[in-house]
Amino acid sequence: MSQNPYMPKLAKIIQIKVEVSGERPIKTFRTQFMNKNEFSFRSGQAAMVSVFGKGESMFSISSSPLTKDYLQFSILKMGRVTSSLHEMEKGDIMGIRGPYGNGFPLEEWKGKNLIFIGGGIGLAPIWSVLQTALGKKEDYKDLTLFYGARSSNDLIFKKELEELKDKIKVSLSIDVEEPEWDEFVGFVPQNVTDKKPSPENTIAITCGPPIMIKFVIKALKELEFNDDQIYTTVENKMKCGIGKCGRCNIGSHYVCKDGPVYTWAELKKLPQEY
Amino acid sequence: MDKILKKNSLSQWIKKLESYTIYAPVKKDQVWEYEIMESPDNIELDYPNTVLSPKKIIFPQREVFLEFNRSDENDLEIKEILPEEKPTIVFGVRPCDARALTITDKVFRSDIKDIYYSKKREQTTLVGLACNTPPSPHCFCTSVGGNPYSKEGLDILMTDLGDRYYIESITEKGYKLINSAKNLFTQPKTEDKKALEKNRTESKKKIQQQIKDIDKIPPKLNQMFDSPFWDEQSLGCIRCGICTYICPTCHCFDISDEITSTFPLQGKRIRTWDTCQFPSFTMHSSGHNPRPDRASRLRQRVFHKFQYFVERYQEYMCIGCGRCVDQCPVGINIIEILKKVRDYESKSLHAKTS
Amino acid sequence: MVNLQDLKKEVQKILKEGKIKYFIGYEKREDEPFAKPSFIKKPEDVEKLTWNPTCVHNLARFLVFEKRRKASEKEPDERPVGIMVKGCDSRAINVLIQEKFINREDVYIIGVSCENTGVIDEKKLSKKLKNKQAQKIDFGEKDNFVVTTNDGKMKVPSKEILADNCLECKTNYPVVYDVFLGEKIERKPEDPFESIKKIESLSPKEKYNFWKEQIDKCIRCYACRSVCPMCYCDECVVDSIELSVTAETTADEKAKKIIWTEKSPVSSENFTYHLVRAIHMAGRCVDCGECERVCPVDIPIRLLNKKLEKEVVELFDYEAGFDSDRPPLLSSFKEKDPQEFIR
């Protein structure tokens, strides 16, 4: 077995689901490695997905490590590689290498309340850690999910969210009013401020567009969360995934290796350059 | 192990090393570069600095990782391309350029090992040449932890003593080379050792550029991240990328797919050098760019070399070769920038007590 | 002779009057006798300005950065930028105006005449001085330079160390300006296309071999592109991402971007880059010589552009940068334009 970190393993697409259609389409891909191999990962880690002939892109793994049958990615069509992925069909072959990054430290959160705050495609990395926590529900106290998007069409995992409402507290929001929407209308940070979650024995995990993260952290600070109670993932352009090519560095950190999961306490210390 | 080699025996020694691929400094038109040596009789070791450092032999500008091939609709094959077995020697390596390799080693050979770099590094023997005079008027190796006769990263160090070389073998790889032509070497005498001492003292004195109190710079930089200092210093920058491409310690790269045929799909995945000085380096697909202007990119270069790398590895990511100062088309001088950083006084940095 | 004090006085005046935002000129480098671009904002800083034979840079390049900076500001300062130009540089500004990249009102031009000489080639100078270090280089009498070294002053005939493009100069004094310094002394070379004669006489195979050897040296640092005032495209052929991408650009638009050249520094891609760039510069290049000067591996890039300049003169009787009102060459058509290539 070659120890070449740049060599991807081939994987087949076994299922494609359209989450969001329209101008900013999002699809969820379930993939299986063509040759059986051990691919263990922690929630919050990501993998480099190759579309041969186009390039590679880093995506968070949105399935839980407890799921062994497939690896799931939710991908927003943004540029060259993602457009190519969106044109792929069931049975097409891609390359996967990884897992990269530090992942969420679930073991440190045992016995605490967990609040997940996601926006748009940011629900994908959260989904992995949420499902893992659900799978070991006895280890944690209350689980809550705040999730929002521009419109009801832009929400991902629509069906799964409905099923989730039976298990944990779920609070959805959309930016602008719609005729049949009876939940919160406004931005995700506003929803958080509205519902006033308590910081007592709680960890907050947030993922989404950089501007949303900025205001969510502000909202959480106003609710008296400490800097080390707030976790987030940082997105940066990545190429090698192993902390060598220098593209994703923020200060002395390589986001692909030392991150992408950071507490606000850690992130504050890095140069504000992302 | 110390030896003496007469200058006129140099080409005979090289002839004994036929089984290796040998690189040496070669002059093409006006420019010196490391190229595969054509004839051992023409080897010239009396040269000013090359434009590109020997980094390009171990970390080439283009490297193939894998080939992909879709022979029919559902069948995609990928073939790993590994670096070939090619024992190599590089002659005439400046001590600073060898130190640069120990610095890039820290990135490429730590944690997850980069096997392309590692393999080439292991099969390359570096024969260094001490600098009797600074190869560049902008040499400042002594300010960043180096000196004209440093042995770091080298397998053999040669010092030019006029009609002969003083040879110091440093590693097993170096010893092997000397062993292959044992009879050409003699034992150093006392006067050789004295000449070496004298040479060392004098070559160090000849370094004109110094940055005093350089250790004040990393903590000072920490306070200067948001300073308008970078706007002023980068006004002349034309963001060409020369400084990073010729720098022996710069190692950022890009990975891309090159298609040689669309139907059937065939191509290669390659790695090429890249530079943080290009605006597209950090540009996200969405158009958002964390380093949108020349100021932030110049700041990144200085910080990476003199603050971030120091924080992570306790070493400067600069060997003081002065190439970037020699080649910058608009006279941006990192030595001057560092001195200005060291002496920078501003109300925003500290409160004056008066 | 251009009087440096006159220059300093003029710049100080317009800065004090607030007529310009800042002034782009030349100042001496800290450690060497050579000049580098200078950006003067405060009137008292005009003392830094210099004018000597090492002022090789084409400062028109910085007008491109100025335009980009202005575009990103919310409330931009609408005053012009002051700039100091030589003959060739002024033609570059004319091309930028002609292509409507900038307006004439955006620049306040102080034109400086090269008179009997021009600017020097650093490499020719060090070859001439051999082991001596130059401490100062000045304009001398008639067509000489005065070089000061440790051993004192020496007179060097300009022909020996003039930059290659100065030897074929078409305009040794600015053709567009608000203020003119120096004397309008005409200095036209006998043959403005002397440098390409040798290559033109080679057979096609020899030409290819010559260029292959040169272009194989290319490390694709893109310094030639970065220093040229006319290479201002956000959507350059060689980039894999367009710098003009915004949040509104659709994924399909980004996905459809054609990769014309790969990043690999191999013969085929290097040739594509250099030849495409030369063709994009046809009818626009003013032969300021910067592209060749900045090349770290000494590729004679200027010769490619010079050849196309000759073609443009012969086919269309057109020279770039003399008339900013005239429509650009490749976007205009005259009935008498040669049509033999249309078969």
Half-sphere exposure (Cβ direction) of A62: Cα atoms closer than 13 Å: 22
- Sheet containing B266-273: which strands, arranged edge to edge? B75-80, B62-72, B266-273, B253-261
Kindly report, residue by residue over C238-286, the tens digit of the pLDDT: 887 777 888 888 888 888 888 888 989 999 999 999 999 999 999 999 9
Domain membership flag for residue A257: no
Interchain CB distance below 8 Å, A240 and B253: yes
Q: Quick one: average pLDDT of B144-158?
A: 94
Q: What's the pTM? A: 0.92
Kindly report, residue by residue over B152-199, the tens digit of the pLDDT: 999 999 999 999 999 999 999 999 999 998 899 999 999 999 999 999
Same domain, A46 and A136: no
Instruction: Give the Cα separation of B282 and B279 in Å (integer).
Output: 7
Number of domains in chain A: 2
pLDDT of residue C260: 87
Read off the pLDDT band of C343 (50, 70, 90).
Answer: low
Block residue for tokens 């590693």? B171
Element (DSSP H or E) covering residue B68? strand B62-72
Instruction: Classify the phi-psi angles of A156: left when phi > 0, otherwise alpha if psi is within -120 to 50, otherwise beta.
Output: beta
Residue C106 lies in domain: 4-119+162-331
Nearest CA in chain A to B312: A252
- CATH no. for residue A59? 2.40.30.10
Span of A123-132, B212-221, C233-242 with lowest mean pLDDT:
C233-242
Tallying the residues shown for chain C, one arrives at: 343
Of C287, C294, C293, C290, the C-alpha closest to C312 is C287
Kindly report, residue by residue over A20-64, the tens digit of the pLDDT: 988 889 999 999 999 887 788 999 999 999 999 999 999 999 999
Q: Are B89 and B127 spatial neighbours (Cβ–Cβ below 8 Å)?
A: yes
End position of a domain, from candidates A100, A132, A154: A100
Percent of chain A with pLDDT over 70: 99
Interchain CB distance below 8 Å, A52 and B265: yes
Percent of chain B with pLDDT over 90: 76
Q: What is the mean pLDDT of chain C?
A: 91
Read off the pLDDT band of C150 (50, 70, 90).
Answer: confident
Asked if A150 reaches chain B (Cβ–Cβ under 8 Å), the answer is no
DSSP B82: P
Nearest CA in chain C to A25: C251
CA distances (Å), origin A82, targets A23, A59, A73, C243? 14, 10, 12, 19
Interchain CB distance below 8 Å, A79 and C250: no
pLDDT of residue A1: 39
Joined tokens for residue B288: 């958002």
Kindly report, residue by residue over C312-322, the tens digit of the pLDDT: 999 898 999 99
Kindly report, residue by residue over A159-175, the tens digit of the pLDDT: 999 999 999 999 999 99
Same domain, A156 and A189: yes
Neighbours of chain A (3+ CB pairs under 8 A): B, C
pLDDT of residue B347: 60
Cis peptide before B137 (omega within 30 of 0): no
Kindly report, residue by residue over B65-123, the tens digit of the pLDDT: 999 998 876 688 899 999 999 999 999 999 999 999 999 999 999 888 999 999 999 99
Same domain, A110 and A226: yes
Interface residue of A1, A2, A3, A6 to substitute, partner B, most B CBs within 10 Å:
A6
Asked if C263 reaches chain B (Cβ–Cβ under 8 Å), the answer is yes
Interface of A with C (CB under 8 A): 23, 77-80, 82-84
Q: Are C85 and C25 spatial neighbours (Cβ–Cβ below 8 Å)?
A: no
**Whether the predicted pLDDT of C40 surpasses 60:** yes
Same domain, A93 and A130: no
Asked if C252 reaches chain A (Cβ–Cβ under 8 Å), the answer is yes
Q: Provide the residue type at B238 as one letter.
A: I
Domain membership flag for residue C69: yes
Same domain, A86 and A204: no
Domain membership flag for residue A23: yes
Instruction: Give the Cα separation of C19 and C16 in Å (integer).
Output: 8
pLDDT of residue A32: 94
Neighbours of chain C (3+ CB pairs under 8 A): A, B
Q: What is the mean pLDDT of chain A?
A: 91
pLDDT of residue B349: 57
Interface residue of C252, C253, C256 to substitute, partner A, most A CBs within 10 Å:
C252
Contacts of B119 (CB under 8 A, 6+ apart): B82, B83
Q: Quick one: average pLDDT of A126-144?
A: 91
Residue A116 lies in domain: 106-233
Q: Are C217 and C226 spatial neighbours (Cβ–Cβ below 8 Å)?
A: no
Asked if B283 reaches chain C (Cβ–Cβ under 8 Å), the answer is yes
Q: Quick one: average pLDDT of C292-308?
A: 94
The partner residue sitting opposite A10, judged by closest CB among B65, B78, B282, is B78
Q: Are A130 and A101 spatial neighbours (Cβ–Cβ below 8 Å)?
A: no
Strand B88-93 to strand B124-129: parallel, antiparallel, or no bridges (unpaired)?
A: parallel
Contacts of A153 (CB under 8 A, 6+ apart): A20, A21, A22
Report the gap between the CA of A237 and the closest CA in chain B (Å).
Answer: 6
Instruction: Give the Cα separation of B230 and B341 in Å (integer).
Output: 10
End position of a domain, from candidates A61, A79, A100: A100
pLDDT of residue B348: 58
Asked if C247 reaches chain A (Cβ–Cβ under 8 Å), the answer is no
Nearest CA in chain A to C245: A79
Percent of chain C with pLDDT over 70: 100
Joined tokens for residue A204: 């907050």
Q: Quick one: average pLDDT of B218-236?
A: 92
Read off the pLDDT band of C142 (50, 70, 90).
Answer: confident
Query: What is the domain partition of chain B in residue ranges?
Result: 2-205, 214-342
Q: Are C181 and C3 spatial neighbours (Cβ–Cβ below 8 Å)?
A: yes
Half-sphere exposure (Cβ direction) of B149: Cα atoms closer than 13 Å: 20
End position of a domain, from candidates A33, A68, A100: A100
Report the gap between the CA of A215 and the closest CA in chain B (Å).
Answer: 18
- CATH no. for residue A142? 3.40.50.80
* Alpha-carbon B289 to chain mean position: 29
DSSP A112-175: SEEEEEEEGGGHHHHHHHHHHHHHTGGGSS-EEEEEEESSGGG-SSHHHHHHHTTTSEEEEEES
Number of domains in chain C: 1
Of A107, C221, A98, the C-alpha closest to B277 is C221
- Sheet containing C107-112: which strands, arranged edge to edge? C35-40, C23-28, C81-85, C107-112, C179-181
Interchain CB distance below 8 Å, A53 and B74: no
Q: Which residues of C touch A83 (CB under 8 A)?
A: 251-252, 254-255
Of C106, C295, A10, A2, the C-alpha closest to B114 is A2
- Sheet containing B88-93: which strands, arranged edge to edge? B31-36, B21-28, B88-93, B124-129, B156-160, B164-169, B2-6, B185-186
Joined tokens for residue A54: 């186009």
Read off the pLDDT band of A207 (50, 70, 90).
Answer: very high
Report the gap between the CA of B139 and the closest CA in chain C (Å).
Answer: 12
**Whether the predicted pLDDT of A88 surpasses 70:** yes
Read off the pLDDT band of C2 (50, 70, 90).
Answer: confident
Interchain CB distance below 8 Å, B276 and A7: no
Q: Provide the residue type at C85 as one letter.
A: V
Contacts of B33 (CB under 8 A, 6+ apart): B25, B26, B50, B51, B52, C217, C297
- Give backbone dihedrals phi and psi of A30, rounded to 5 degrees, phi first: -110, 130
A32: three-class secondary structure by DSSP: strand
Q: Which residues of B touch A251 (CB under 8 A)?
A: 303, 308, 311
The partner residue sitting opposite A239, judged by closest CB among B255, B276, B296, is B255
Domain membership flag for residue A223: yes
Read off the pLDDT band of B230 (50, 70, 90).
Answer: very high
Q: Are B148 and B134 spatial neighbours (Cβ–Cβ below 8 Å)?
A: yes
Q: What is the largest CA-CA distance in chain A?
A: 57
Report the gap between the CA of A12 and the closest CA in chain B (Å).
Answer: 10
Q: Are B97 and B150 spatial neighbours (Cβ–Cβ below 8 Å)?
A: no
Asked if B241 reaches chain C (Cβ–Cβ under 8 Å), the answer is yes
Cis peptide before A189 (omega within 30 of 0): no
Q: What is the mean pLDDT of chain B?
A: 90
Kindly report, residue by residue over A96-106, the tens digit of the pLDDT: 998 999 999 99
Q: Are A85 and A167 spatial neighbours (Cβ–Cβ below 8 Å)?
A: no
Domain membership flag for residue A4: no
Interchain CB distance below 8 Å, A78 and C250: no
CA angle (B329 as vertex; B326, B334 as ends), nearest 5: 55
Kindly report, residue by residue over B26-71, the tens digit of the pLDDT: 988 778 899 888 888 878 888 888 999 999 999 999 999 999 998 8
Domain membership flag for residue A134: yes
The partner residue sitting opposite B330, judged by closest CB among C37, C133, C264, is C37
Read off the pLDDT band of C100 (50, 70, 90).
Answer: very high
Report the gap between the CA of A144 and the closest CA in chain C (Å).
Answer: 32
- Sheet containing A169-174: which strands, arranged edge to edge? A184-185, A169-174, A143-149, A113-119, A202-207, A230-233, A261-263
Kindly report, residue by residue over C52-73, the tens digit of the pLDDT: 999 999 999 999 999 988 988 8
Same domain, A39 and A89: yes
Q: Which residues of A touch B111 (CB under 8 A)?
A: 242-243, 257
Kindly report, residue by residue over A211-232, the tens digit of the pLDDT: 899 899 999 999 999 999 999 9
Q: Which residues of A touch C250 (CB under 8 A)?
A: 23
Interchain CB distance below 8 Å, C226 and B287: no
Block residue for tokens 């270069």? B301
Tallying the residues shown for chain B, one arrives at: 354
Half-sphere exposure (Cβ direction) of C270: Cα atoms closer than 13 Å: 17
Of A251, C10, C133, the C-alpha closest to B138 is C133
- Sheet containing A26-33: which strands, arranged edge to edge? A55-60, A46-51, A93-100, A9-20, A26-33, A71-76
Of B171, B208, B153, the C-alpha closest to B325 is B208
The ipTM (two decimal places) reads 0.91
